[in-house]
Each structure stands twice: as C-alpha cells, then as structure tokens.
Amino acid sequence: MENEAYGPRIQKLQERMAAANVEAFFTLAPPSMRYLTGFTGEEGYLLVVQGGVHLILDGRFTTQAQEECPWVDVIEYTGHFTRSVAELLVAGHTHWLGFEKERISFVQAEQMRTAMPSVVMVPTEGMVEGMRMVKDAHELDMMRAAGRCADKAFSAMIRQLKAGMTENEVAALLEYEMRKAGAQGTSFATIVGSGARGALPHGIASSKVIEHGDVVVIDFGVNENGYMSDCTRTVALGEQPADVLETYAWLLDAQQLGLSLIRAGASARSIDTAVRNKLKEHGLAQYFTHGLGHGVGLEIHEAPRLSQGTDAELQAGEVVTCEPGVYLPGRYGMRVEDSVIVTADGFESLTQLSKELVLP
Ligand SMILES: [Mn+2]
C-alpha cells in the first residue's frame, strides 16, 4: 500500500494519544505494527511519539522494514529492546508512555519499568484495535480478495472430498488449494470435524477417517497479505435422515435471520439474541454454545463481538461473522458462517459458497 495511507493512521493515533494524556505509545503487536506502518515482520517494537515513528528491530528485520516503510525511523537494537526505547524517551524528554495492557506480558512490562525509571507507564486499551474496527476502502478490497481466495480454495477442495479420506487429508488439501489460490497461509488451524467430532465446535482436523453418511463441519480461513478470511460450511456425504435435514434447515433459517439484522446502528447483542431465540423455537438453543460472531481483519478474532457480552453497535465498514452452530454431543455438529461487510442498510457478503448440505 502507498505510504500516504499510513500517515493518516499515525495522525489519528497521535490524536488518541493526546486524548489519553500520553506523549508516546508503544506496541509490540504485529497486527498493530502492520496497520500503522506496513511492516510485516512477526517481531518488533513500535514507538510512536508526537514527532515521529520508530521501529526497534533486531537484525533479521531491519532491511525488510527499510523496504516496507522507508518513512519510518528503523533502529537496529543489540542487547535488549528496552534500552533503545529508553534512549528515545529520554532524548525526547518523554514521561508518559502508553502501552497496550492486553498485548504486553508482565515480564516485558517489568523490564521496561526497570530500564526507564523516569517514565510513567500508562496502560491503554483498544488504542489501535479501536481504529482497526472500521476498515478503509483499501482494507475492504483486501478482505474481498481474501474471501474470493477462500471460496476458490474451498470449491477446489470440495470437488475432491470423498469418504475414506481422513480429516487431516481434507485440511491439507484445503490448505494446499489456499496456497495455490494465492494465500500466504491460513488464518487459524483448519477445523474439519466429521461425525461426532463435528460436535466439538473448535475440534481441529484429526486422523479420523471420514465415513459415508458423516456430517462434516469445515471452518477455514486464508491469510492473504495479512488480511484474514473466516468461513464455515457443513457438508454431508450421502443421504441424511429427516431429523438431520430438518436441524440443518432450522440452522440455516437462524443464520439467515442473523444476517438480515446486520446493518450499521444495529445492536450486536440483539442480533445474537434473535438468532438464539430462533433456535429456541426448535429446542436447539442449548446446543448453540458460543457467541454468534466476531470482527475479522488483520486478526481472525477482533472487535466487535456479536454476543451476549457486548454493548457494541455495528458500524458501516466493520467486517463481522455470523456463525450459529448446533452441536449434539456424541452425534454430530453443524455450523454455517459467513463474513460480511456491514453497510448503512445491510451487508455485503465476502463469501459466495453454496450452503447445500448434501454433496452431489
Ligand atoms: Mn469465526
């Protein structure tokens, strides 16, 4: 992305820093560093002050950072990163340092306190995450591209899926197709849960053989240029008994209802409640054991949440999932998940995959 995209983000962060009464802001979270500077390395330390942006890196990443964000002051540290941070803060006569309390470990906080006794460390929350919720036009294009890549990979995999394969083989095949479609990797460990294993909502693929008649939950995502996709489909190999077909139809109804309520201004909790109530009509609410959805972007799970534990109102430009599930322990599980862009009057889906249960 062009450098001009990062300038406004840094400026906005500096405004948020001023509002939080901190002169400097420190993060070591790779998604935040990437969002603010374009640096894609998996380890580093970013210090933003009102007068500049410093990336403190070890020798593995300095050349990369100079190429990816030439406008940033790249500092190669030897020894411990806290020394470079302390030097910058002392040189700038900085006393109030904001840091992300949810991202930094206790030991790192202690090391920083020891290295810079004259600096007051101020815990902050959601400083960068709050900015990342609403995606800009460029980010939305990246999310659309990730969604298309995931669709392509899943479609290629599903043509090859057959009874007798293990869950691991299916996951490997899907991940191979992701890479072929342009992904740099997955956004999380691919979930393939067949038969009774499908009732484990986050049971990653195992060596279990998928049998004819199994219902299979496949939850997968690509990482394409740092942006994540998230989608779940449930497929069945072979004809299914009426109760399975009926349960799946009710689940689809519930997901459709959830999607239909997504729009800017909607209460995230009320959408979760509506979907839960819909499942309750069929006696299935107690088998839906997780939140309805979550934000997606540079991280697979980010703000906002669609659950009972939130007061968030959806905003246009957020990307959220809608993923109700029904898990019958010892029998089977089902989940259907789409990721969508919230718009003023509805949503734009990032996934176009079929929701037909029984594979042809
Ligand atoms: Mn999800």
What is the 231 CA–ligand 1 centroid distance (Å)?
A: 7
User: In the CATH hierarchy, which top-level class contains the domain 3-131?
Assistant: alpha beta
The predicted structure's pLDDT at residue 4: 74
Percent of the chain with pLDDT over 70: 99
With CA atoms as reference, report the closest residue to 308 among 257, 250, 269, 351. 269
Q: What would the mean pLDDT of 270-287 be, rounded to a whole number?
A: 98
Q: What would the mean pLDDT of 219-244 be, rounded to a whole number?
A: 97
From CA 2, how far away is CA 34, in angstroms rounded?
13
Residues of the chain with CATH 3.40.350.10: 3-131
- Asked if the model's pLDDT at residue 310 lies above 90, the reply is yes
Could you tell me the two tokens for 37? 């500077």
The predicted structure's pLDDT at residue 1: 46
Q: Give residues with Cβ within 8 angstroms of 331, minimum separation 6.
A: 196, 199
Residue 88 sits at the vertex; the CA angle it makes with 83 and 92, to the nearest 5 degrees, is 145
From CA 147, how far away is CA 352, in angstroms rounded?
9
What is the 228 CA–ligand 1 centroid distance (Å)?
A: 10
What is the 301 CA–ligand 1 centroid distance (Å)?
A: 7
* Helix pair angle (6-19, 30-37), 10° resolution: 120
- Local confidence band at 39 (pLDDT 50, 70, 90 cut-offs): very high
Compute the mean pLDDT over every residue in the chain, rounded to the nearest whole number: 96
What's the pLDDT tens digit per position in 83-136? 999 999 999 999 999 999 999 999 999 999 999 999 999 999 999 999 999 999
CATH topology of domain 137-349: Creatine Amidinohydrolase (3.90.230)
What is the 326 CA–ligand 1 centroid distance (Å)?
A: 15
Residues of the chain with CATH 3.90.230.10: 137-349
What is the 94 CA–ligand 1 centroid distance (Å)?
A: 41
What is the 203 CA–ligand 1 centroid distance (Å)?
A: 13
Burial class (CB in 10 A: 0-12, 13-18, 19+), 245: middle
